[in-house]
Amino acid sequence: MTVRRVERSSVYRPEPLMEENPARRENRAAGWHRFHIGDHEATVVSDGRLRPGPPEQQFPEVPKEAIFEILRKNFLPTDGLIMEQNCLVLRTARDVVLFDSGIGVDKEFGCDESGRMADNMRAAGIDPREITSVVLTHAHCDHCWGLTDATGERNFPNAEICIARGEYEFWTDERRLSEGGFQATFIAGARRSLLPYRDRLRFVSDEAEVVPGITAVSSPGHSFAHTSYIISSDGYDALLVGDVVHSTALLFENPDWGFSYDFDPILAAKTRRRILDRAVSEDLTLIGFHFPYPGVGRVRREGEAFAYVPAPIVHK
Ligand SMILES: [Zn+2]
């Protein structure tokens, strides 16, 4: 009998296998996560990650070492913030509501890891034509530029857009294009994304119902008329905060820090404390657009500040 020597490489070849598997090659993060808020089916659909650059540039009033110390104790890199884009699709008895669109195909403020909403929606079994309302927290690039595709066509052809009137008027005002800087780029992008829906706009107002089960909560500061939303069903309540708080590592512990893209950093900090206080006292689940994926968790008071606790992911 001849014993045939088995070459190690013939039974264990990790590199060629990885090459053959595009999902491994692209190092993709998980794309969607489903849970329930009472009777509503909720699906977080990711538009991928953003990398907004060095953290010290994002918080210009804060000493660099103070930022780095917190990032290090949270085991996060100090050379660049990572921000997820957790878009929520809520299926109620009557509506299919998308909260914020993600940045879409743009690569100036986006990156190779963003622009994944369409693929992830398909993977989650959601047809963009099913969306009846897109409810916006605000009109910054990462929240509304995904409303249209590269050719300017609507990605959600059957949806109305729900947004605060002040926010819509601020970001679509062409007279302010001449102001330059990131504001001008944001205005051009908001006009490109929102104007194709101009005949199907509905303005939301503070503490008023947007659609059954969803109530607007005015939360200005990060942007001119930023709005958060309470989602309620069968005694369960969640608070979709938008960008009232984005870095869970930095801003729960330091709710008074100003962020470089805040419209009014002092008002943003005041609003952050008011909204987080409400979440604690009303025992609300938080859904955060930029929180670590999938962005669902709770908040507790910690001294004069707050602490974020991600919700466990339940596998059924
Ligand atoms: Zn944002």
Gyration radius from the chain CA atoms: 21
How far apart are the CA of 101 and the centre of ligand 1, in A?
Answer: 11
The amino acid that residue 51 corresponds to is R
Q: What gap in Å lies between CA 119 and CA 102, rounded to an integer?
A: 13
With CA atoms as reference, report the closest residue to 315 among 39, 33, 37, 46: 33
How far apart are the CA of 264 and the centre of ligand 1, in A?
Answer: 15
For 260, the token pair is: 């470089």
SS3 assignment, position 285 = strand
How far apart are the CA of 55 and the centre of ligand 1, in A?
Answer: 15
- Looking at residue 10, its pLDDT comes to 44
Q: What are phi and psi of 288, to 5 degrees?
A: -115, 130
pTM: 0.91
For 124-158, the pLDDT digits (tens) are: 999 999 999 999 999 999 999 999 999 999 999 99
Neighbouring residues of the ion ligand 1, judged by CB less than 5 Å: 142, 243
How far apart are the CA of 8 and the centre of ligand 1, in A?
Answer: 49
Give CA separation, 18 vs 7, 13, 116, in Å: 20, 9, 21
How far apart are the CA of 289 and the centre of ligand 1, in A?
Answer: 7
Give CA separation, 223 vs 102, 168, 183, in Å: 16, 11, 11
How far apart are the CA of 17 and the centre of ligand 1, in A?
Answer: 37
For 267-304, the pLDDT digits (tens) are: 999 999 999 999 999 999 999 999 999 999 999 999 99
How far apart are the CA of 102 and the centre of ligand 1, in A?
Answer: 8
One digit per residue, the tens of pLDDT, for the chain of length 316 reads: 555 554 444 444 444 444 555 555 555 656 999 999 999 999 999 999 999 899 999 999 999 999 999 999 999 999 999 999 999 999 999 999 999 999 998 888 888 888 999 999 999 999 999 999 999 999 999 999 999 999 999 999 999 999 999 999 999 999 988 888 888 999 999 999 999 999 999 999 999 999 999 999 999 999 999 999 999 999 999 999 999 999 999 999 999 999 999 999 999 999 999 999 999 999 999 999 999 999 999 999 999 999 999 998 876 5
How far apart are the CA of 39 and the centre of ligand 1, in A?
Answer: 28
